[in-house]
Amino acid sequence: MKTIDFTIDADGIAVLTVDVKDKPMNVITPEFIQDISKAADKISTDDKIKGAVVTSGKDSFMAGADLKDLVANFEQRTDAAEVYSWCRKLQQAYRKLETCGKPVAAAINGTALGGGLELALACHYRVVGNNPKTRLGQPEVQIGLMPGAGGTQRLLRLMGIEAALRMNTEGRHIAPEKALEMGFVDEVVEPEKEVTAAKAWVQTTDTIDAPWDRKGFKVPGGAGLMHPAAVQTQIIGAALMQKMTNHNYPAPLAIMSATYEGSVLPMDKALDVESKYFTQLLMDPISRNMTRTLFLNKGAADKLVRRPEGPEKRPVTKLGILGAGMMGAGVAYVSAYAGMQVVLLDMSKDNAEKGKDYSRILLQKRIDRGRMDADKAADILDRIATTDSYDELAGCELVIEAVFEDVDIKADVTAKTEAVISADSIFASNTSTLPITGLAKASQRPEQFIGIHFFSPVDKMPLVEVIVGEKTGDVAIAQALDYIQQIRKTPIVVNDSRGFYTSRVFGTYSKEGITMLAEGINPALIENVAKHAGMPVGPLAVTDEVTLELSHHVMTQTKKALGDAYVASAADDVIGKFVEDLDRKGKRFGKGFYDYPEGEKKRLWPDLAEHYPRAEEQPDPEEVRQRILYVQAIETVRCLDEGVLTHPADADIGSIFGWGYPPYTGGTISFIETEGLEHFVSEADRLAEAYGERFAVPESLRSMAEKGETFYQLAEARQHRPAA
């Protein structure tokens, strides 16, 4: 067998050691499916074999399918029968192992996820090593899929319907002791003793089948079309799921349906139900979108796929941060947490200490929740040195400025920093809108000047946008990416422009919402449709969050910089009125588009209708949804056209992890591909005629639609094009 080392010991116990060659972790391949089926046959028919133990030849037990192959194989498939047949192969191989007529134990010597855990569930007994790094789970829902090799059916029969639903719809990773408590593993032992314990069970048990294959088996907690507890779980669960997903994500509902239907059927028919739902999800573009962006593209970004090959890796040991406000304080925390010495500089020592307080508060929360001991927290805090002296920046390999968004202020701190740091140090700006090339004019070494744009709050937001100026060199890019990897964030690399990629496209979202308000569209309709479409916060609420004052400042700075080239919008007048005339500057100031009564929930300002009267005829919610999603996607295409973005993967990652474009779409570019380029262009033309040039698609997109091309296909072709 290519993927399983099959041996029989002196006691007649077959040991199946899974080892998928050329893979860092065991994954499900066509060869593995064949091998596990052959192994089950051998266990069943060989009289010398009394039972079997399944374990792994690697540090972890097993993951699920190779998702890269999954996306490639099923992106273009439209034959449901073909997909269904593929889905059944692994499921039936596991079922053959489960019904081989002899006791089979799983010796789980490391992480088991997805199809890997389903392999263990198909065994009659599960032993897991109590390694703190080991995690067990069914995370398929996080990429738009569901367990497809028996996970929905075996878990409900082991744990009961409610617990199984929670595990499968949340997709959490679970530690060994918790798994034992939940009831889907049978024994927790010291690491490296898993096989011994599994063999001991095989030698002493009279088990030859699973409980659900025995007459009279009942699901823990009850099941049945009319069972009160099961019906209540389904009704409440469906309501909660609708609230969580707004029906944008089919996987949780498929899991609920397969669980409820399967709970009243014999196992073999229940597995067939699971396969049918799994097939539906696999053929749905949502699973392709989520798998490609949230797993494959993000994984490549985390491994620094955009890093220049030449420069040697140079970890940051000492980091300088200019400005101890919210952003600087957040950067200080994540950097010290990652093990770096941090110099946090502000205009006064007191200001810098206030910035350090942010880390004190976060660390104390971890202590209070039992997630960190006090000594470790103290060590992290000790790594943050506060100062008002630039001399303390000496020895920093990287300095990040996070001062006020003003060109002159940034120029001043750049000059003061470069006067004391070494010749090979990198200087980075955390600006969210100002062009890096312009800011680099204040530097004596622009090739070592780069943009590193964090998102707030830094400790929670996973994305960092690296901005390359006209003169930025490869060493600076490599250093920035190496640093981002150190703090365990996901980077995208973009070229310079005003607003770069994330701020520029995110701005179209808030502006479109404000423009609709000016048109007389009910603000509650705007906000609710945006959230139902999958945006985390409505455009008016998010403008309040970042403050109208900041939006006004950016608008004023941009007008000043662009002069006659500036294109005004209806949103500009609204922002100007709120800041200059109404003194409603956003949440931080207690009032903006919303009111923020102390101790109460925020609410839309009742007087909005007085300033922006409601139109007599309100648009259909789908029209509002299209405007919100399309305007961001079209601006993303412009960023690709202008070379701000160099790959659609960066566009998709940045849109989801940067400002919360709906994950089910796969990101702004995947959204266009899911809509279909021809359909997208047609709808955009209609929107442009109705609402203005901001919806006009670039000619490149129109040409792609006419030729039947897609962004990812063209990117793949460029990647494999021979060098000239």
CATH number at residue 230: 3.90.226.10
Last residue of a domain, one of 435, 462, 497: 497
Shared domain for 416 and 517, answered yes or no, is: no
Indicate the residue type of 105. Answer: A
pLDDT of residue 655: 97
SS3 281: helix
Q: Please write the tens of the pLDDT for every residue from 585-623.
A: 999 899 999 999 988 999 999 999 999 999 999 999 999
Statement to judge: residues 236 and 334 lie in one domain: no
Q: What is the full DSSP assignment across 188-249?
A: EE-TT-HHHHHHHHHHH----S-GGGSTT---TT--STT-HHHHHHHHHHHHHHHHHHTT--
List of long-range contacts for 689-698, beta carbons under 8 Å, 24+ apart: 691/627, 694/508, 694/512, 694/569, 694/631, 694/634, 694/635, 695/627, 695/630, 695/631, 695/634, 696/634, 697/634, 697/637, 698/634, 698/637, 698/638, 698/641
Determine, yes or no, domain membership for 625.
yes
Say whether the peptide bond before residue 457 is cis (omega within 30 degrees of 0). Answer: yes
pLDDT mean over 232-241: 71
pLDDT at 694: 95
Is 296 domain-assigned? no
CA 651 to chain centre: 14
Beta-sheet strands, E only, within 478-569: 490-495
Tell me, yes or no, whether 262 lies in a domain: yes
Indicate which CATH number applies to the domain containing 389: 3.40.50.720
Beta bridge partners of 174: 136
* Residue 82 neighbours by CB under 8 Å, 6+ apart: none
Tens of pLDDT, residues 312-362: 999 999 999 999 999 999 999 999 999 999 999 999 999 999 999 999 999
Domain's final residue, options 455, 479, 497? 497
638-659 tens-digit pLDDT? 999 999 999 999 999 999 999 9
Q: Mark whether 130 and 269 lie in a shared domain.
A: yes
Could you tell me which of 483, 472, 462 has the C-alpha nearest to residue 400? 483
pLDDT tens-place string over residues 457-474: 999 999 999 999 999 999
* CA–CA distances in Å: residue 383 to residues 317, 333, 344, 345: 11, 10, 10, 14
546/623 Cα distance (integer angstroms): 26
CA–CA separation, 635 and 505 (whole Å) = 6
Q: Which of these is catalytic: 453, 647, 679, 720?
A: 453
> For the domain that residue 682 is a member of, what is the CATH number?
1.10.1040.50
pLDDT at 87: 81
Instruction: Please report the pLDDT score of residue 412 as a whole number.
Output: 95
User: Between these two residues, 557 and 118, which has the higher pLDDT value?
Assistant: 118
pLDDT value of residue 83: 80
Residue 308 lies in a domain: no
508/491 same-domain check: no
Average pLDDT value over all residues in the chain = 92
Residue that is last in its domain, among 283, 305, 327: 283
- Which residues are paired to 325 by β-bridges? none
Residues comprising the chain, all counted: 724
Q: What is the spatial distance between Cα 123 and Cα 105, in angstroms, rounded to a whole number?
A: 5
Number of domains the chain is built from: 3
Task: Assess whether 720 carries a catalytic annotation.
Answer: no
Q: Is residue 304 part of a domain?
A: no
Classify burial at 218, counting beta carbons within 10 Å of its beta carbon; exposed 0-12, middle 13-18, buried 19 or more: exposed
Do 190 and 339 reside in the same domain of the chain? no
Same domain for 141 and 263, yes or no, is yes
Mean pLDDT of 622-634: 98
Mean pLDDT of 558-570: 82
- Judge whether 44 and 102 are in contact, CB under 8 Å: yes
pLDDT at 658: 93
pLDDT above 70 for 27 = yes
Cβ-Cβ contacts under 8 Å for 243 (sequence gap 6 or more): none
pLDDT for 77-131, tens place per residue? 567 888 888 889 999 999 999 999 999 999 999 999 999 999 999 999 999 999 9
For residue 578, tell me if it sits in a domain.
yes
Which pLDDT score, from 0 to 100, does residue 723 have? 46
Tell me what the mean pLDDT of segment 53-73 comes to.
83
Average pLDDT over residues 543-568: 85
CA dihedral (27, 248, 285, 712) positive or negative = negative
3-32 exposure pattern, b = at least 16 Cβ within 10 A, e = fewer: bbebebeeebbbbbbbbbeeeebbbbbeeb
Same domain for 349 and 261 = no
CB atoms within 10 A of CB 563: 7
Are 520 and 469 in a shared domain? no
Tokens of 482: 């190496």
302 in a structural domain: no
Structural domain including 682 reads 503-643+647-716
Looking at the fold, whether 486 and 554 belong to one and the same domain comes out as no
Q: Categorize the per-residue pLDDT at 724 as very low, low, confident or very high, splitting at 50, 70 and 90.
A: very low
CB count within 10 Å of CB 1 equals 16
509 & 460 share domain: no
- The helix/strand/coil state of 399 is strand
Q: How far apart are CA 384 and CA 399, in angstroms?
A: 14
**Beta strands 449-453 and 463-468, pairing class:** antiparallel
Residue type, 282: L
Amino acid 74: pLDDT: 57
Residue 434's pLDDT band, with cuts at 50, 70 and 90, is confident
Q: Do 258 and 357 reside in the same domain of the chain?
A: no
pLDDT at position 326: 92
Give the SS3 label for residue 702: helix
Return the number of other C-beta atoms located less than 10 Å from residue 158's C-beta: 21
138: in domain: yes
Strand boundaries in 412-567, DSSP class E? 426-429, 449-453, 463-468, 490-495
CA distance 654 to 661: 9
Identify the band that residue 277 occupies on the pLDDT scale cut at 50, 70 and 90: very high
Same domain, yes or no: 176 and 322? no
Count Cβ atoms within 10 A of the Cβ of residue 38 and give its class: 0-12 exposed, 13-18 middle, 19 or more buried: middle
